Chain A
Amino acid sequence: SQKIEQNSEALNIQEGKTATLTCNYTNYSPAYLQWYRQDPGRGPVFLLLIRENEKEKRKERLKVTFDTTLKQSLFHITASQPADSATYLCALDMSNTNAGKSTFGDGTTLTVKP
């Protein structure tokens, strides 16, 4: 079965710096990969989706890369702000026809200090 590893449980950075979160997976490459944000006591909120044939996706201060050779996705938040503090989840979907049957990582908790 697919196994997902997200880098260290907690990441602390200074405001204004770039946060880089890692998502590594084993076995087969997914059809697409997603990143979600989750605040304490709330449900996950979708941020970005990147497909297996895409190298990079951007949305405002967010950037996602997808390297199927390394079996890795990197999630970057540039010019980070304290409001970016949250847990970020990586999720993989193995098939384009089974949307939503995602396998999730445990998440990385990001703290941005002023």
Chain B
Amino acid sequence: NAGVTQTPKFQVLKTGQSMTLQCAQDMNHNSMYWYRQDPGMGLRLIYYSASEGTTDKGEVPNGYNVSRLNKREFSLRLESAAPSQTSVYFCASSPSNTGELFFGEGSRLTVL
């Protein structure tokens, strides 16, 4: 049972390049989330998807787009990467209405 799987684990980009972070969960959860974690700022919600076919902005959505491809997969896209987007990105999923979040192992992104 893999849980929440994120790819890639590490990525280095140049300013202005684009990339997509992939996330898949095999727990049949309805809700999926993308967080970023920066030193001194905790985990901050970028986007979430309460169910298949819906997406909504979180606390820090600027510079990102998401796609809920199906119930299993939720991708995060950076169209034009900026150094301020250097961070560790975590995907998470949750069964509806329980609050408990299951996190992936993170994707470490550096933008030069």
Contacts and interface: CB of A to CB of B under 8 A. Distances in A.
B54 interface: no
- Say what secondary structure dominates the interface of chain A: loop
A91 B35 CA distance: 13
A72 interface: no
Contacts of B100: 34, 46, 49
Given A43-B90, A106-B41, A97 B97 contact: yes
B75 interface: no
B91 to A, nearest CB: 9
B25 to A, nearest CB: 12
B111 interface: no
Interface string B43-67: 1110010100000001000000000
Contact of A101 (B48, B103, B105, B106): B48
Contacts of A102: 43, 45, 99, 101
B43 to A, nearest CB: 4
Nearest to A107: B42
Contacts of B40: 106
A99 B102 contact: no
Interface in A11-66: 32, 34, 36, 41-46, 49
B106 A100 contact: no
Interface of B: 4, 31, 33, 35, 40-45, 48, 50, 58, 90, 92, 94, 96-106
28 contacts: A34-B99, A34-B101, A43-B4, A43-B90, A43-B103, A44-B90, A45-B103, A46-B100, A46-B102, A49-B98, A49-B100, A89-B42, A89-B43, A99-B94, A99-B98, A99-B99, A100-B31, A100-B48, A100-B99, A101-B33, A101-B58, A102-B99, A102-B101, A104-B35, A104-B42, A105-B42, A106-B40, A106-B41
